[in-house]
Amino acid sequence: MTERRASCSCGQLSIACQGEPVRISVCHCLECQKRTGSAFGAQVRFSTELTSPRGDSTVYTRVCEDGDRIHFHFCPKCGSTVYYLMESQPELTAITLGTFADPQFPAPRFSVYEDRMHSWVSVPGSEVEHFN
């Protein structure tokens, strides 16, 4: 079984993931833009039972437009968001794609909130599902 490890900038907070991702996506919502300081967020979802977080995290909880609550776990030392948990999908753990630090990581298959996507952003690939 494949194991991948994601970690924060300083290495204090990490999460190990077994198996293949359930979903790889980019999100263009305004909250992901604020959270990442970028034009979009990129995340990888794994089955929660196949993930093992290590280290201390500080949690920030945000209520989404649809009322769902998301609990973001970030490193209290360097501030990197490493993973988050969605109350509506407790069986999944979302891990920020960049924390894998792997240029060979598989490409996203979903692009959501495209109605808020920056005009200069392009999500390549004929196999990507696009949602407004």
Identify the pLDDT of residue 1.
Answer: 82
User: What does the alpha-carbon distance between residue 61 and residue 33 come to, in Å, rounded to a whole number?
Assistant: 16
Return the DSSP state at 25: E
> For the chain, what is the mean pLDDT?
95
The CATH number that applies at residue 33 is 2.170.150.70
> What are 20-48's pLDDT values in tens digits?
999 999 999 999 999 999 999 999 999 99
> What average pLDDT score do residues 73-85 get?
98
**pTM of the entire predicted model:** 0.92
Q: Where in the sequence is the domain holding 110, given as residue range(s)? A: 3-130
Q: How many domains does the chain have?
A: 1
User: What does the alpha-carbon distance between residue 32 and residue 11 come to, in Å, rounded to a whole number?
Assistant: 23
Share of the chain above pLDDT 70, in %: 99
